[in-house]
Amino acid sequence: MKNKIRYFNKSLSKWYKENKRNFSWRESTDPWKILLIEVLSQQTQLERANKYYQVFIKKYPTPEVMAKTKVRTILKDWSGLGYNNRALRLHDTAKLITKNGWKEYEDNFSLLPGIGRYTKSAIESFAYAIKVIAIDTNIRRVLTRYYGEIVNDRWIEEEASTLLGPSVSRDWNQMVMDFSSIICLSRNPKCDICPIEKNCNKYFSLKKSRRQEDFIGSDREKRGKILKKLVNSKELHFSDVQELVRVDEYKILPVLEKMEKDRLVNINKKKKIVKLTKE
């Protein structure tokens, strides 16, 4: 196993030097910059998320600036990214960091809104140089294919020290992420030009992954249209929403209620009016 690990790290390190993707935040140890790109890139391709990052880091260079900004403005800047409740959680996090400081959360970043295991590990690795593997779908896929079906999250965590070896964790994590995006793709991996192909176990899970819901016509699309309209409007009547998303009136309320649950809007059922949340 140790020889297999050494081969993996040595071969990918050489590949990474020639194929590394360059992003401004990659050399930063500022936890705010790391948090920002990680939240922006959830369910979003990194190159696209990076374009939003350039806008956000210029407009919100510190959590203190975002904390003072109205939700309406943040949602307007977020428009097009989808999963808008991420923006609300980021705003909540900015307010908590402004109030308590980063040090309050250094022992457990998961106490901050919307920060799960991956984002927690990413902040620890990229901002605080802690030797941890930021396990996400991409890293999990590469390790599973290379080492075989022994791989699961628990195995990765237990073997993290051995897998990382002498590597700086931020370099190792970024290396494997880039490799997964360029070579070890989820579909049609480029095995013919893979630098670790000869030692790869080529274990492909036979489990069928659930197909992501088609965006066109989905509730996600409807929510996006409603929110985009609301950030530029004082309020919308249910009839306006019905015309906007082109569905029967009885189908509108469940969409709006879910948006209200996610703290994106406030509904007045009696007046049949929806407004953007005042938070």
The string of pLDDT tens digits covering residues 158-180 is 999 999 999 999 999 999 999 99
d(CA 167, CA 161): 10
Read off the pLDDT of residues 207-262 as tens digits, 9 standing for 90 and up.
Answer: 444 444 466 667 778 888 888 888 878 888 888 787 788 777 667 788 888 888 88
Tokens of 114: 């919307």
Asked if residues 267 and 63 have their Cβ atoms less than 8 Å apart, the reply is: no
pLDDT tens digits, one per residue of 46-79: 899 999 999 999 999 999 999 999 999 999 999 8
What would the two tokens of residue 73 be? 């403005």
Answer whether 1-18+134-209 and 30-128 agree in fold: no
Measure Cα distances from 170 to 42, 129, 182, 188 in Å.
Answer: 18, 7, 18, 27
Q: Which two tokens stand for residue 267?
A: 């509904």
Q: Residue 16 corresponds to which amino acid?
A: Y
Which residues partner with 268 through β-bridges?
Answer: 273
Contacts of 133 (CB under 8 A, 6+ apart): 121, 125, 139, 156, 157, 160, 163, 164, 169, 172, 173
The ranges assigned to domains in the chain are 1-18+134-209, 30-128, 219-276
Helices (H) and strands (E) in the chain, counts: 14, 3
> DSSP of 120-160, one letter per residue?
HHHHHHHHH--------HHHHHHHHHHH-TT--HHHHHHTH
Nearest to 179 by CA among 19, 7, 3: 19
Q: What fold, for 1-18+134-209?
A: Endonuclease Iii, domain 2 (1.10.1670)
Q: What is the pLDDT of residues 262-272, one digit of tens each?
A: 888 888 888 88
Predicted TM-score (pTM) of this structure: 0.77
Task: Provide the pLDDT for residue 215.
Answer: 62
Q: Which amino acid is at 271?
A: K
The half-sphere exposure of 253 on its side-chain side, counting CA atoms within 13 A, is 7
How far apart, in whole angstroms, are the C-alpha atoms of residue 87 and residue 81?
A: 10
Cα 212 to chain centroid, rounded: 16
Q: What whole-number distance in Å separates Cα of residue 62 and Cα of residue 56? A: 10
Domain 30-128 bears CATH identifier 2.60.120.10 = no
* Pair of tokens at residue 128: 């605080």
Question: What's the CA gap between 208 and 192, in Å, rounded?
Answer: 24
Tell me the C-alpha distance between 218 and 175, whole Å: 35
Fold of 219-276: Arc Repressor Mutant, subunit A (1.10.10)
Identify the pLDDT of residue 279: 56
Measure the CA–CA gap between 55 and 81, rounded to whole angstroms: 13
